[in-house]
C-alpha cells in the first residue's frame, strides 16, 4: 500500500435500538391533585416504544476501516440498556433508574451513565431518545 500522510479521519457512527416499556409520571412527594395537574394523563400507567440512538465518535482504524465494530456496540447497548428496559416497568424494574422519575430526560441521562464508562474515553458523543414519533430528547454528556 502507498504511504499515507494524513491522520485518520474522525467520524460519527450511530446505532439505533428500540425497547417497549411502561411508566407513569408521578412525583411521590406530591398529592394526586398536584400530580394530575403537572403530568395530566401521564400520571397514569401507560407505555411507549422508545428508540435510543447511540452515536459514537472516533478515528477510523486504518487496519479495519472502522471506528469500532457495530456488532460490539449493538451487544453493549442490548446488555446494558435493552435487556433491562424492554417490557419493563420503568418506575420499578430497572436498576439504573431506581429513585428517578422516568421522564425521557431522566432516562437518556441514566442511559449515558450506563454506556459511557463501557466505551473508550470520549467515544460516546450523543444519545437521542425518542419517546414517540414526535418527541425526543438529546444528551451530549456533562
* φ, ψ dihedrals at 116, nearest 5°: -55, -45
Separation CA 82–CA 74 (nearest Å): 10
The nearest distance, CB 48 to Zn ion, in angstroms, is 5
The nearest distance, CB 77 to Zn ion, in angstroms, is 21
Name the H helices within the chain: 32-39, 70-77, 83-85, 104-115
Whichever of 17 and 42 has its CB closer to Zn ion, that residue is 42
Whichever of 56 and 111 has its CB closer to Zn ion, that residue is 111
* φ, ψ dihedrals at 113, nearest 5°: -65, -25
CA torsion through residues 114, 119, 125, 126, sign: negative
The nearest distance, CB 46 to Zn ion, in angstroms, is 6
The nearest distance, CB 119 to Zn ion, in angstroms, is 28
User: Is the distance from CB of 49 to CB of 19 less than 8 angstroms?
Assistant: yes
Give the interface with Zn ion as residue ranges (CB under 5 A). Answer: 42
Whichever of 42 and 93 has its CB closer to Zn ion, that residue is 42
Q: What angle do CA 34, 38, 42 make, to 5 degrees?
A: 110
Whichever of 15 and 26 has its CB closer to Zn ion, that residue is 26
Whichever of 67 and 110 has its CB closer to Zn ion, that residue is 110
Residue showing the smallest CB distance to Zn ion in the complex: 42
The nearest distance, CB 26 to Zn ion, in angstroms, is 11
Amino acid at each position: 500500500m502507498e504511504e499515507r500522510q494524513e491522520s485518520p479521519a474522525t467520524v460519527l457512527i450511530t446505532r439505533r435500538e428500540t425497547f417497549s416499556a411502561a411508566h407513569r409520571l408521578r412525583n411521590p412527594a406530591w398529592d394526586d391533585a398536584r400530580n394530575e395537574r403537572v403530568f395530566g394523563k401521564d400520571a397514569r400507567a401507560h407505555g411507549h416504544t422508545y428508540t435510543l440512538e447511540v452515536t459514537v465518535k472516533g478515528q477510523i482504524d486504518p487496519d479495519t476501516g472502522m471506528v469500532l465494530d457495530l456488532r460490539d456496540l449493538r451487544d453493549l447497548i442490548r446488555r446494558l440498556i435493552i435487556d433491562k428496559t424492554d417490557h419493563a416497568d420503568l418506575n420499578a424494574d430497572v436498576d439504573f433508574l431506581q429513585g428517578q422519575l422516568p421522564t425521557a430526560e431522566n432516562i437518556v441521562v441514566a442511559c449515558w451513565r450506563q454506556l459511557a464508562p463501557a466505551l473508550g474515553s470520549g467515544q460516546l458523543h450523543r444519545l437521542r431518545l425518542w419517546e414517540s414519533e414526535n418527541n425526543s430528547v438529546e444528551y451530549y454528556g456533562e
